[in-house]
Chains A and B, each alone.
Chain A
Amino acid sequence: DTEVTQTPKHLVMGMTNKKSLKCEQHMGHRAMYWYKQKAKKPPELMFVYSYEKLSINESVPSRFSPECPNSSLLNLHLHALQPEDSALYLCASSQEGDGDQPQHFGDGTRLSIL
């Protein structure tokens, strides 16, 4: 059982739609992350939030918009996505954002763009 919960598990959307991915953790972790993973490739970091503030944006296109409403929640708002954005989107959390702790992953949202 994962302690990082992501919803929805699967999402199919058109290129003009707006949708949001949600992530929740109740481990008291202060850092949360969004990753994108394509088939047969390792996860690629997109965003890092530390103490509810955005600390890293890995030059992600603006059609992806992260939001951290509180220390337990992380959202990823999607708008006008492209077919190449189809991937597994993983959320992770760690105890702190400025140290060397391992990250714990949710089971991901599998996104398909039509």
Chain B
Amino acid sequence: RKEVEQDPGPFNVPEGATVAFNCTYSNSASQSFFWYRQDCRKEPKLLMSVYSSGNEDGRFTAQLNRASQYISLLIRDSKLSDSATYLCVVNRGGGYNKLIFGAGTRLAVHP
């Protein structure tokens, strides 16, 4: 079983749609969680950190469920510029800042 699992997609949605991505992680010792976005042939860029209480940044909302070892990302009012691969990233913990990346979920927003 992979340490971080995501649905690879692609998710094809029209502009203005709401889309949700899910991610599960296997290591219960993991302490911190992030969503990154990566455009084709570009570097990963931090989208947001994920906190236990849930957090929101504009059209983006992230949730963490530690009991179920599950992370989600909700994008409201999708824009064409949201088209990218969204990487669920988990810190393995154990005293090192070692990030484990999910394989990514592709999102394609069309007019």
Q: Which residues of A contact B (CB under 8 A)?
A: 2, 31, 41-43, 45, 48, 50, 55-56, 88, 90, 94, 96-108, 110
Contact = CB atoms under 8 A, between A and B. Distances in A.
B43 A106 contact: yes
B103 interface: yes
A107 B97 contact: no
Contacts of A2: 43
Contacts, number: 53
Contacts of A106: 43
Contacts of B21: none
Given A48-B96, A56-B96, A104 B103 contact: no
Q: Is the interface of B mostly helix, strand, loop or mixed?
A: loop
Interface residues of B, number: 22
B46 interface: yes
Contact of B43 (A41, A90, A96): A90
Interface in B28-81: 31-32, 34, 41-46, 49
Given A103-B97, A105-B43, 12 more contacts: A43-B44, A45-B98, A48-B96, A90-B43, A99-B97, A100-B97, A101-B97, A102-B46, A104-B46, A105-B44, A108-B42, A110-B41
